[in-house]
């Protein structure tokens, strides 16, 4: 075996190294130094995140099952930044008395799921993809059951694990049909082998979309989302809603474009079209009536997943760049919102919207951060969320057909609807008065640092136009990635 091909996966190797060091620290360090494990992991991961920005090792490995391109390199870095913020915000929580016994497992499982997502993003073969998908989704069930003192956490884990296995069974059935039709599991070879639609192929593509759609919580497959987001510990929820979703979205784009690109308009454009309309609309409508903020953000993230899918239906390098940009902005905005929720939940245990009444009086900075996050998620101009929505609409509209214009218009109308419920939170914090508001919370410096990074991201990513230009330039070299539309 040619071991030099491992050089094609520097980011994965680095991540495994971080995982091994954390594992050894967790296993062999004495009890008194275990308290430093969260900080140790976070600092180690920060060093790795910075080093991973060095572009190196582009190419294929393992019989072209694994491919590292500039686009996957950028996407992995985006995810790294998000995971770093999640780890930073979890430091205080993992040192809580109830959680601290198992705190090593939290970090190990997070790092391993991230490894699975990297495999998913880079895979060019369905076998590697399935392994990555399962590595990325199964440990999250164990993470959801992490807060053993709360019954909700156990229930969330049970609901997650059953839907995850059900969806992966459907996904694998779809792949088996594709294998029967094409005789290969390589994405490129499938695209060459299946060029015309037939009933079995349509069923197979529908199953594949359903399988990945479960992970992305697109609408017909979204029922688990709200329950799991509400029940799981907030650190896990933020990881699940941002990192897991971003990785699955990119992998979804790779599958649909690379393996089924030759049947874009014949088979899956209309499936995805219907799914996007349903996802955005139903996510918005259900978000309006939620009072629990974690549930509220679950429905909000369903609707955001619909916007992310606009970058897939665009079927162009511009769509790919705008999708990566959207995920980056979404990471900052959603992690800011979840960070505030986590701080308040850790200090007081309150998560409903009414508990946030008058938050501005007692905790002005938390309220300010939450306001910026809501503005960014809703897409109000000076913040990054506006630019990400703008670019993703532009990417989709570039496709040029009337149907896509209608789709973009529906998404636009839904943006306005979504402002209503995002501003409900802002209204509760700033305008409503409450005598028994949440008292002043002295947040830990790691939480403050995490929130500061998020706020800087929300403000700077939108204004620094170089970031989008860089993404656009990176993906522009990948025009051959998109097979001709058939």
Partner 1 sequence: MNLTLLMYLIPSIIMFGCGVYGFLTRKNMIAIMISLELMLNSVDINFVVFNRFLFPGQFEGMFFTLFAIAIAAAETALALAIIINVFRAIKNVDINQINKLKF
Q: Which is nearer to partner 1, 29 or 165 (CB)?
A: 165
Least distance in angstroms from the C-beta of 169 to partner 1: 4
Residue among 205 and 396 whose Cβ is closer to partner 1: 205
Please report, as ranges, the residues that interact with partner 1 according to CB under 8 A.
126-127, 130-131, 134, 138, 141-142, 145, 148, 151-152, 154-159, 161-162, 164-166, 168-170, 172-173, 175-177, 179-180, 183-185, 226-227, 230-231
Q: Name the minimum Å distance from CB 185 to partner 1.
A: 6
Selection from 263, 119, 123 nearest residue 205 by Cα: 263
**Nearest distance from C-beta of residue 177 to partner 1, angstroms:** 8
Measured distance CA(223)–CA(226) in Å, rounded: 7
Is 123:248 a contact under the CB 8 Å cutoff? no
Q: Tell me how crowded residue 404 is: count the other CB atoms within 10 A of its CB.
A: 19
Q: For residue 217, which phi and psi values (nearest 5 degrees)?
A: 50, 50
Q: Which is nearer to partner 1, 25 or 177 (CB)?
A: 177
Beta strands in 272-381 (DSSP E): none
Instruction: Give the residue with the Cβ less far from partner 1, 189 or 434.
Output: 189
CB of 119 to partner 1, least distance (A): 13
Question: Quick one: the chain helix, strand, coil %, rounded to 5?
Answer: 80, 0, 20
- In the complex, the smallest distance separating the C-beta of residue 135 from partner 1, rounded to whole angstroms, is 9
Q: How far is the CB of 220 from partner 1 (least distance, A)?
A: 15
Q: Are 207 and 241 in contact (CB under 8 A)?
A: no
CB of 126 to partner 1, least distance (A): 8
Taking the least distance from each CB to partner 1, the nearer of 244 and 399 is 244
The smaller minimum CB distance to partner 1, of residues 299 and 387, is found at 299
Q: Which is nearer to partner 1, 183 or 382 (CB)?
A: 183
346, 450 Cβ separation under 8 angstroms = no
What is the C-alpha to C-alpha distance for residues 178 and 185, in angstroms, rounded to an integer? 8
Cα 464 from chain centre: 22
Q: Is residue 332 within 8 Å of residue 384, measured between CB atoms?
A: yes
By beta-carbon proximity to partner 1, the closer residue of 8 and 190 is 190
> At closest approach, how far in Å is the CB of 307 from partner 1?
24
Structure tokens of 87?
A: 């780890």
* Beta-bridge partners for 66: 61, 123
Q: Minimum distance from CB of 151 to partner 1 (Å)?
A: 5
C-alpha gyration radius of the chain: 21
Closest CA to 335 of 248, 239, 467: 239
Rounded CA gap, 275 and 281, in Å?
10
Kind plus residue range of the DSSP H or E element containing 336: helix 317-348
User: In sequence order, which ranges of 52-184 are alpha helices (DSSP H)?
Assistant: 70-94, 103-122, 126-144, 151-182
Q: Please report how close the Cβ of residue 154 comes to partner 1 at its closest, in angstroms.
A: 5
Residue whose token pair is 């990325």:
136
User: Of 205 and 314, which CB lies nearer to partner 1 in the complex structure?
Assistant: 205
Which CB atom, from 35 or from 291, has the smaller least distance to partner 1? Answer: 291
User: What element of type H or E holds 426?
Assistant: helix 402-430
């Amino acid at each position: 075996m040619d071991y030099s091909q491992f050089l094609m996966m520097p980011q994965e190797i680095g991540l495994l190294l971080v995982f091994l060091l954390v594992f050894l620290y967790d296993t062999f360090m004495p009890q008194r130094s275990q308290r430093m494990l969260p900080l140790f992991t976070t600092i180690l991961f920060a060093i790795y995140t910075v080093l991973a920005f060095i572009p190196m090792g582009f190419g294929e490995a393992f019989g072209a099952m694994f491919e590292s391109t500039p686009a996957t390199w950028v996407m992995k870095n985006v995810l790294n930044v998000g995971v770093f913020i999640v780890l930073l915000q979890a430091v205080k929580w993992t040192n809580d008395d109830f959680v601290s016994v198992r705190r090593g497992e939290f970090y190990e499982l997070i790092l391993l799921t991230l490894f699975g997502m990297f495999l998913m993003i880079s895979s060019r073969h369905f076998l590697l993809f399935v392994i990555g998908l399962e590595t990325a989704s199964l440990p999250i069930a164990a993470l959801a059951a992490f807060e053993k003192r709360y019954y909700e956490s156990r229930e969330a884990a049970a609901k997650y694990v059953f839907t995850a296995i059900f969806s992966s069974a459907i996904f694998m059935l779809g792949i088996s049909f594709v294998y029967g039709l094409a005789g290969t599991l390589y994405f490129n070879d499938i695209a060459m082998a299946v060029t015309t639609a037939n009933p079995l192929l349509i069923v197979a593509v529908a199953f594949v979309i359903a399988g990945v759609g479960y992970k992305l919580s697109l609408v017909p497959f979204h029922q688990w989302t709200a329950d799991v987001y509400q029940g799981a510990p907030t650190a896990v929820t933020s990881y699940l809603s941002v990192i897991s979703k971003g990785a699955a979205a990119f992998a979804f784009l790779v599958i649909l474009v690379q393996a089924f690109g030759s049947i874009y308009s014949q088979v899956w454009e209309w499936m995805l079209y219907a799914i996007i309309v349903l996802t955005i609309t139903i996510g918005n409508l259900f978000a309006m009536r939620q009072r629990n903020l974690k549930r509220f953000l679950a429905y909000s993230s369903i609707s955001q997943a619909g916007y992310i899918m606009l970058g897939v239906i665009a079927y162009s390098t511009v769509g790919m760049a705008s999708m990566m940009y959207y995920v980056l902005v979404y990471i900052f905005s959603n992690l800011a919102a979840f960070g505030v929720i986590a701080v308040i939940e850790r200090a007081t245990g309150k998560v409903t919207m009414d508990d946030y009444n008058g938050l501005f009086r007692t905790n002005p900075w938390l309220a300010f951060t939450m306001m910026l996050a809501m503005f960014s998620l809703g897409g109000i101009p000076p913040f990054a969320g506006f630019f990400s929505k703008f670019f993703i609409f532009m990417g989709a509209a570039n496709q040029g057909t009337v149907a896509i214009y209608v789709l973009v218009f529906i998404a636009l109308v839904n943006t306005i609807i979504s402002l209503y419920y995002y501003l409900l939170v802002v209204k509760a914090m700033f305008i409503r008065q409450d005598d028994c508001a949440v008292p002043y919370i002295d947040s830990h410096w790691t939480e403050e640092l995490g929130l500061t990074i998020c706020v800087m991201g929300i403000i700077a990513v939108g204004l620094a136009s170089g970031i989008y230009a860089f993404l656009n330039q990176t993906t522009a070299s990948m025009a051959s990635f998109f097979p001709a539309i058939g």
